A and B are shown apart, each in its own frame.
Chain A
Amino acid sequence: MNAADGTSARATTPVVEIRGVDKWYSTFQVLKGCSLSVARGEVVVVCGPSGSGKSTLIKCVNALEPVNTGDVLIEGTSITDGKASLSKLRARVGMVFQHFELFPHMSVLENLCIGQEKVLKRKSEEARDKAMGLLARVGMTAHAGKYPLQLSGGQQQRIAIARALAMDPIAMLFDEPTSALDPEMITEVLDVMVSLAQEGMTMMVVTHEMGFARKVADRVVFMDRGEIVEDTPKARFFEDPQSDRAKAFLSKILSH
């Protein structure tokens, strides 16, 4: 951390800050005192065994899942105090889901425009230009007029990323973006994510793709049974994991 100290002191508030979050599903505690922050331009990969609470944690960031105790701040604004409009805060953070969740009744182009027009109140030509630019970027220009269900999973997920980017987000959240994809489609989605990271997008990514973490992550967060067990720079996580649980996890997913 010594090299980064200078920049972190200069950096103002973190883009995303999770402070001591607890969450229960009735009597079962899914998150136990989780704290985590993502600075501007940082890429944080969250991993851990299934059921460890990582998807729940990332959904707490934009309040798709409410927290029981603790707080989440987006650029210093709390999502729980009720003063700031929740929908306005959400519009500033892009999110990509495991099952894409494109709107099936709208064309690809409409999927990219609806948020721009209805939430950001952009004019339709402006929204359309922005959408076409982003479709070109993810290599989907030819499919602008199609419906999501006429496309492959990889294509849908690239469009879902473009839909989130159309809102000009200050950060992007990815909730297992490649877990529902056939192996041959994972690369095309990861390529888009890698280029985003390299352009300096602030990202929080829940994924099992350790290759992606190795390539672009600044920090790796390891979760198990609702707790953040490790939160370390990438190199240290892969070379010298501190906890037994992280060691066991790594040996399982890296063994083949």
Chain B
Amino acid sequence: MKGWHWDGFFEYLTNGYLIEGALVTLGLTVFSIFFGLILGFVIAVMRMSKYKLLSAPAYFYTWIMRGTPLLVQLIIIYTGLPQLGIKFTVVESTLIGLTLNEAAYLSEIVRAGIAAVSRGQVNAARAIGMTPFQVMRYVVAPQAFRIIIPPLGNSVNGVLKTTSIASIISMEELLRRTQVLIQERFLVLELFVVAAIYYLIMTTAWEFIQRRIERRFGRAYDPQAGLVEQR
């Protein structure tokens, strides 16, 4: 193949500097999903409150975060806020931006999951004397979680790729490091294909993990499951 360098391609495919970048991408994803889910849960519960004082700020938050691009948010945090004397490092800005942005989307997913748990389940839990917190902890949240696994998996897949936007504020994740390496030998196509392969490996691995989680939480809902185990 003319113009394509296999040697360069294979060299970059096993490049430690790039693999590190991929691990950073993975770390950013895990961090922003984990804390985004916690914050998203709080926002979802606030949003569903009958008190305007709680639901209005939650609505305002998701309105802002989902209504503006992540790129703009990252630039405001990293480049804009220092003007007011608030300074964050590149890594801090990336983690804050990704988490705050993701929390807004996840809160909508969590809200749908909580709303899907039937009123009857809530009543049954209250009827045996559970406090509102216990109703959420033991009855609503576990059932809501099963419901949100597919859309949540979608978000994880999305964030894995969205982290690349942080390269613009010079966050050294996979894409940024790919661009740095291009300066060495100008193997543009080879390097971007390598980066694409790394992203593909990570999203594919997540697909397998998600399927396992779904099976784990779906056991109780499969009429055959108990029978298979007994065989």
A164 — nearest CB in chain B belongs to which residue? B128
Q: For window 100-129 of chain B, which residues contact chain A by CB distance below 8 Å?
A: 120-121, 123-129
Q: Are B226 and A101 in contact (CB under 8 A)?
A: no
Q: Are B220 and A90 in contact (CB under 8 A)?
A: no
A180, B84: Cα distance in complex, Å? 64
A88, B126: Cα distance in complex, Å? 10
Give, as a whole number of angstroms, the nearest-CB distance from A198 to chain B.
24
Residues of A within 8 A of B219 (CB): 147
Give, as a whole number of angstroms, the nearest-CB distance from A249 to chain B.
27
Q: For window 130-166 of chain B, which residues contact chain A by CB distance below 8 Å?
A: 130-131, 134, 138-139, 142-143, 146
Give, as a whole number of angstroms, the nearest-CB distance from A106 to chain B.
8
Q: Provided the pairs A87-B129, A87-B130, A114-B138 are in contact, do residues A97 and B124 lie with their beta carbons within 8 angstroms?
A: yes
A95, B127: Cα distance in complex, Å? 6
Residue of B121, B124, B143 contacting most chain A CB atoms (<10 Å)? B124
Residues of B within 8 A of A149 (CB): 220-221, 223
Residues of A within 8 A of B223 (CB): 149-150
Q: Provided the pairs A101-B121, A104-B143, A146-B226 are in contact, do residues A119 and B220 lie with their beta carbons within 8 angstroms?
A: no
Residues of B within 8 A of A97 (CB): 120, 123-124, 127
Contact of A105 among B126, B134, B143 (CB under 8 A): B143
Q: Write the A144-161 contact mask toward B (1 if CB under 8 angstroms, else 0).
A: 011111100000000000
Q: Write the A83-115 contact mask toward B (1 if CB under 8 angstroms, else 0).
A: 000011111111101010111111100000011
A65 — nearest CB in chain B belongs to which residue? B123
Give, as a whole number of angstroms, the nearest-CB distance from B196 to chain A.
39
Residues of B within 8 A of A89 (CB): 129
Tell me the count of chain B residues lying within 8 A, CB to CB, of chain A. 25
Q: Are A101 and B142 in contact (CB under 8 A)?
A: no
A120, B129: Cα distance in complex, Å? 9
Give, as a whole number of angstroms, the nearest-CB distance from A51 to chain B.
19
Indicate if A10 sits at the interface (CB-CB under 8 A). Answer: no
Indicate if B81 sits at the interface (CB-CB under 8 A). Answer: no
A167, B121: Cα distance in complex, Å? 18
Residues of A within 8 A of B217 (CB): 105
A90 — nearest CB in chain B belongs to which residue? B129
Please report whether the interface of chain B is mostly helix, strand, loop or mixed according to DSSP: helix
Q: Provided the pairs A104-B220, A105-B220 are in contact, do residues A88 and B129 lie with their beta carbons within 8 angstroms?
A: yes
B223 — nearest CB in chain A belongs to which residue? A150
Residue of B129, B138, B139, B142 contacting most chain A CB atoms (<10 Å)? B129
Residues of A within 8 A of B225 (CB): 147, 150
Residues of B within 8 A of A104 (CB): 143, 220-221
Indicate if A252 sits at the interface (CB-CB under 8 A). Answer: no
Contact of B226 among A88, A102, A114, A150 (CB under 8 A): A150
Q: Are A119 and B121 in contact (CB under 8 A)?
A: no
Q: Are B142 and A90 in contact (CB under 8 A)?
A: no
Q: Are B126 and A90 in contact (CB under 8 A)?
A: yes
Q: List 28 A-B contacts (CB under 8 A).
A: A59-B123, A62-B126, A62-B127, A90-B126, A90-B128, A92-B129, A94-B128, A95-B124, A95-B127, A97-B120, A97-B124, A101-B121, A103-B121, A103-B125, A103-B143, A104-B220, A105-B146, A114-B128, A115-B128, A115-B129, A119-B130, A146-B226, A149-B220, A150-B225, A150-B226, A163-B128, A164-B127, A167-B128
Q: Write the B177-191 contact mask toward A (1 if CB under 8 angstroms, else 0).
A: 000000000000000
Indicate if A256 sits at the interface (CB-CB under 8 A). Answer: no
Q: Are A101 and B120 in contact (CB under 8 A)?
A: yes
Q: For window 128-171 of chain A, which residues contact chain B by CB distance below 8 Å?
A: 145-150, 163-164, 167
7 other contacts beyond A90-B128, A104-B221, A119-B134, with CB at 8 A cut-off?
Answer: A64-B127, A88-B129, A90-B127, A101-B120, A115-B128, A150-B226, A163-B128
Q: Are B220 and A147 in contact (CB under 8 A)?
A: yes
A107, B219: Cα distance in complex, Å? 11
Residue of A103, A105, A106, A150 contacting most chain B CB atoms (<10 Å)? A105
Residues of A within 8 A of B121 (CB): 101, 103
Give, as a whole number of angstroms, the nearest-CB distance from A171 to chain B.
12
Give, as a whole number of angstroms, the nearest-CB distance from A118 to chain B.
6
Q: Are B131 and A87 in contact (CB under 8 A)?
A: yes
Residues of A within 8 A of B142 (CB): 105
Q: Are A119 and B123 in contact (CB under 8 A)?
A: no
